[in-house]
Structure 1
Amino acid sequence: MLRLRHHFFYISVIIIALLASCSAERKNIISKTYHNTTARYNAYFYAKENIREIEKILDDSYDNDYNNILNIYPEIDSVLAKTYEDKVEECIKKASIAIQRHKNSKWVDDSYILIGLARLYSTDYVNAIETFKYVNTKSEDPDARHRALAHLLRTFTDYNEYNNAISVSDYLKKEKLNKNNQKLLYINRAHYYQVQEDHDNMVQNLVKAAPLLKKKDGKGRIYFIIGQVYQMLGFDAEAFNYYKKCIASNPEYELDFYARLYMAQVTELGKSSDLKSARKLFKKLLKDKKNKEFKDKIYYEMAAFELRQNNLDDAIEYLKESVKASTNNNRQKGQSYLKLGEIHYDSLRKYELAKAYYDSTITVLPKDYDNYEQIKERQEVLADFVEQLNTIQLQDSLLALSEMDSISIRKQIDEYIAAEEERKKEEEEKERKRIRRNTFNQLQDNTGFSSTSWYFDNPSAIAMGQTEFKRIWGDRPLEDNWRRSNKESEQDYEQVAANEDIGNTNKDTDNIEVGEEDPEMVVTAQAEKMYNQIPFSAEAKERALDQIEEAYYKLGNIYYFNLHEERNAATSFETLLQRFPETEHEPEVLYHLYLINKSLGKDVEKFKNRLLSQYPNSTYAKLLANPNYTEESTAANEQLKKAYKTAYEMYSNGQYQEALGVLNQAMNDYQETVFTPRLKLLKVLITGKTEDINLYQYQLTEFIKEHPDSDITPYAKELLTASENFLKKQRRLLGTEFVTYFDQEHYLVVVYDAGKGITDKIYPLIETYNDTNFEKQDLKTSNLILDNNRSITMVSSFEDKQEALAYFKKFVSEDVILEKTQNSKIYKFVITKDNFNIFYQSKDLEAYIRFFDKNYKNGL
């Protein structure tokens, strides 16, 4: 027994000694082995699993758009990051345990890197950057430092700090990296160049990374991206090889499919047999049942292939098939419509058809599609173009009808309506045939029955036939004369006879069902509507001619400036001058015809002489008569640019009044040029720095109205939107209640009915009153629009509540605005700057009047 106690004692001593030697502070082999093992297979292991789960969520949520070069990394979205927030926190928690409890293990640096990645994936870029920097400065392991810097390169890229990203990249070029870090560096460097749209450097880095890739790295995807970039750069042979490598890596089916599809696009076509082989490959992909959901994409690529062979007709047919096959893929359907629009716009110049395809494109194409705004702009141009064509055609037709007798007019209208009805019937029949064909094809796909199978041996074919029968004929019993739609029974006959006895003797309406429109009545209504559009009176004809005149002018401008069709533009402009010799657009049109004919190498003297003789004082004549006119205008432009530069420097330094003086002087000294709006906008920005935010918004709104076509108007719109959003945010922070903090700047506000010319009376009364009685206070009077019904005149500003109330009391007692003579309900009050922002956004006048009565009037 005593011996057992001694053994237990010795064992306990050994265990205690071992535990003591495993302290995180010790660096002996036992301690290091223990902490390395424990850290790796516990806290670090679970933290790394969290990172893998987050990366899987990012990959699964990424919508691969194979029509564009795939992203190397899926985009990190802050909204999506919320869905895995718990995994980020768990990762940081586990990695922190590995750092704190196992300080002497070799997994400390790796744990810090996991924390950095977790912060990167949660879009906490600032802390992710600090974490990777910490590893670089504190770690003694060069591999860990290099890995942290490679991740830092990606983080800087995603955080839009591109100069820092390239600095890290340049630093790592000088370092000796292990293979894993080299691979990571090449991929992250390629990611940087992809963001910069530098595809040449992007593909160079991916090619360097390719030999180092393993299956877990998703090498099939990287091979595919390399193929895409080479194909875009025009290196088809290299693209073919990497698509082939992608397929050889045994990727997921979707990636495999697109690699095979694009291989057909980049196959070398040296012989006619190569063309046949490529087309055969497309058809093989089309017939493969596994590719059923990709048919729209296959047809699209077939069209792209035929376009390269300049086979427009085949390309158009394939694109139409792509549209039909795109049942659940609006992105692909939109791209097919877009390509059809581009062909009809750029190659065929059939603008009406192009307009229809662009309309369809905008209807289905997602708004995040690249160049969506440019596509929409072209759609709007084409819509305007077709509108002008239709206006000319319609008004000319109506004017022609107005010269006919009533019988001829009715005949023309009836023939038009009949032709339209026939056209609709043909379209409906085509649609029915298409639906039947698609239904049949779908049944073939789903059931496998072929056209050679006997009909009654196939239940699916029978079911389809029954459905089609009911669609056309309705649910009818099997009996003789089943085709007859009106089989009157004896009871029906008796009912008709009874109706006749009552006096319902209109034979034409006996066979019309309740709720059904009489076709003849419909046609009559259509004819009446068309007849009423005909311009019979002199005034109506004048209006029709005005519409035609304006349409020709707009049509010429669209041809010239938007479609760059000089010959068609010249035809439109010349037609305008011939039909409307007194048009107000004549000087501008003559100038355009001068430029167009000069560009085409034709005679320009007749346009030049006519412009100079008939419109010598017009800007267009000056451009022709005075060779220095453009130079003089350019000189004024240069002076305005210099003044703008000086004023902007003053503005940047906070010298707002000095900047305003420079701008006003320049605008007085020089004529208005295309650069003038920039000076005006800078004046508005100065208002934003020196005046109330609502006045700033008002001036921005006025600037946008005055300069709708200026190239800086979009920027002005952005400024206005940002300012409005700021006020909304401020209002949310402050709440809907008015603020009871009065130790701040105050205004006097006068609110009255808009639209009665009262502003022109009130403003000078207040301004004169202030100049006379408060000259030293430098008070400013300004006008604002509160809403559609009310306007504001405001006096700013007073240092505090006491000064504002003193002014208010004097202002009211002296009846400065002569209230009884203004024919409007007028409200007067003082208000703090913060409360004015709330009031101007809420428009709640009654609420503020109550607040004013409670917090100000008691002090009067």
Structure 2
Amino acid sequence: YRDALPFLIQTVKSEKSGIQKRRLQFLLGQVYAHLGERENAYNAYEQIKKLSTPYDEVFNALVAQSQVATGDGEIIGELQKMAENKKNSAYLDRIYAAIGDVYLSRNNVEKAIENYLLAEEKSVRNGVEKALTHVTLGDIYFERKDFLKAEPRYSQALGALPRSSGNYARVEFRTDVLGELVPHMEVLARQDSLRQLAVQPDESDKIIEGELFRIGSIAKDRLGDFEFAVEVYNRHLTDFPESIRRKEVYHQLYQLYLRMGNRAMAKSLRDKIISEFPQSEYAAAMSDPDYEHVVRNYARVQDSLYQQTYLAYRQGQVETVQGNFKRAQKLFFNGHLMPKFMLLNALSLAQSGNPEQLNTALSELIQKHPGTEETKMAQQILAGLSEGKTLVANVQPFSGIDWESHIVAGNAADSVCFEKEKNLPHSLLLLFPPNSLRKNELLFAVSDFNFSNFQIRSFHTDYTYVSPYEALQIKPFRSFEEAGRYASMLAGDSIFRQNITTGIVPLVISDKNMEILRDGEPLENYISFVTNELNDGLSDSIPLIVSVKIPQTITETEKNVPLEPEKTGKPDISSKKPTPKQSERLTDEQRLEELERKAEEALRQTGDVFSKRDRERILKEREEARKEWIKQRERDLKQREKVRKEILKQRERERKQKLKEQERLRKEKLKERERIVQQRNEK
């Protein structure tokens, strides 16, 4: 921008057209503003008024000046005169917002708020300009920690701001966090009022105590406002000195003071915990010599220990898994990864052949962490064990962070007999937990892979449900090995891996075995069948239970690679079958055999067999199909945006209803207060 300034200034001077000159002058002001030269920007906008400028352009220049004003008092007077002019009634929101900008630039925050509120009130449009006023007001209230007023501003602004806006990420984050925080603050404010009126004081105290703890946790862990969190936790200790949460509040304050660099206060809280609660988990954790380092780097250290534990589990290092679990119990007993640590520990007990301890560990997980994915898995494993099934030795957990599959294998007598024949029509299933990824993106990525690699073959893709997972089914394949080669190509495609970052599990299955699953046979039984019966070590088979996003040493495939193996020079038995003469009448069996032979030959062909015209036609069809997928994706994105806006509108309606309810409660409190006062006067 700075390099362009001399040329832009010279162009403005030499320009003869009045319209173009005003446009370039406005652009000059914008460049100065972008470079932080507010005074030069202000003067550039001022020059526009002297170029026989139409009223609407003068108005725009004046608004632009308000955003870079420094100490000039005249601009407020000009803007106020414009506000009094009736022909500007449709622009009052912009005028008052501009006045607010000037006051804010002079650090007169109260006057700025006054004018921003007027801008909100006078607005007749729900566009970006109104959203920016909401954002500015939301920022002011946010800095003042007046979150009750900041939240609705951010919420309303988010629906109108374009994603390209520099404010969008910040507004989205604050909308999300305050959306969680504000309901608790509203409950707290309501209960504080009721307690002052002495209406059910015991019940109010119980609610207030819980809300203070929740508000402190959100402020610390999500909002990242340590000072506000300290204020809330200290009130908790003052108002509820006998609370059962006192040691937890001490520990939260200890962590906060450490992060804030106040070592003296941190030591004071540590001493309180050890002296008042010597047998607690917190006291045990604080006895660890590395505990301060753990607190300062909690998330990173916890995740590192978990990854080490998971790797040890995959390698069958039972003692390491159980030792890491004990350390996690000591340092991260209330961490969000504890259910995963507990599950790995339980499964390691299965590896070491301790069924009784396995049952105990799974039951403890279910009791302590109800509702988690790990608990659901533990319940399924316990149910399988109670039916007399045994846990597979190499059982692997499955979750949203790249866990793969949990398998409880029954006795052979308990299982349906799956079809072992590999030379039958097969499909490839890409399994994933429900709601764990965007289906349209996966479908588009697979279709793009197919268009890019196969000009001859066409595949059908459709979503299906294979309890307890959803799956994208890709077909047809002529055999188990052919589907396996396709899966290897897909797993080795760098563009596919780049587009799909969520863990998925590829699984090859014949049409007959698919019908057996649809009849109710558990998926884990089929996976066990594949592992034990079908994965017989063929060199061209893929590891069947492996996440596509795990880096693999698979060579990138070239375009138009046929799925059949390359010819080795040996006689091709399938191609030596006699072809019926044209004059002979074909039986149904011969007709089917002829069709299969031609299909097989087509599969082996390369693009060289086709004429230039055929190739151009195929490429054109492929390009048209690709464009159609892109259009469909755009339609899906628009629909998703529409749904998001509807959600925001619903939130706004709910907010208004909430405000209405608060106003009703306030009036009831006033009536109750008047009644109490009247009763006292009568006495």
TM-score tier, shorter chain, comes to 0.3 to 0.5
Compute the TM-score of the two structures, normalised by the length of structure 2: 0.47
Q: Which has the larger radius of gyration?
A: 1
Larger RCO (alpha carbons 8 Å, 6+ apart): 2
Higher helix share: 1
Compute the TM-score of the two structures, normalised by the length of structure 1: 0.38
